[in-house]
Amino acid sequence: MSFTSRLKVLAGSLAACGSLYAGVRYFSDRPQPLSAAEGSNESPVPPLTIPTRSEQMARLRVGEEFDILIIGGGATGCGIALDSVLRGILVHVAVTLKAKELCKK
């Protein structure tokens, strides 16, 4: 065998061994998923309590001031409301239903 052919065999062997080593490390170092029995049933996020419609209307009648009034609860309105609340701004979203939506069965 010539020197170049031996060098090619050596390079191929090293590449195969390196690939095998990387594959073994990848599959053995991955964190194993937790089963439901091992984890706790408590959610890190507390449950959201939404006030009733009458409570919301009473809050509006009291005359509390809001920093932003958003008219329309579509994709843009909800996005603006979410961004504003995350920034600590007091927001009120006013949404009206169309007659078709009120008459749905």
pLDDT single digits (tens) 46-73: 777 877 878 878 888 887 788 998 988 8
Same-domain pairing of 26 and 59 = no
Q: What is the pTM of this model?
A: 0.42
User: Would you say residue 19 lies in a domain?
Assistant: yes
Q: Is residue 41 part of a domain?
A: no
Claim to verify: residue 57 and residue 96 sit in the same structural domain: yes
Count of structural domains within the chain: 2
Residue 48 in any domain: the answer is: no
For the chain, first and last CA: distance in Å?
85
Q: Could you tell me what percentage of the chain is helix, strand and coil, using 3-state DSSP and rounding each to the nearest 5?
A: 50, 10, 45
List pLDDT tens digits, range 75-94.
999 999 999 999 999 998 88
The enclosing H or E element of 71 equals strand 68-71
| Residue-range definition of the domain harbouring residue 68 | 53-102
- Whether residue 60 is found in the same domain as residue 27: no
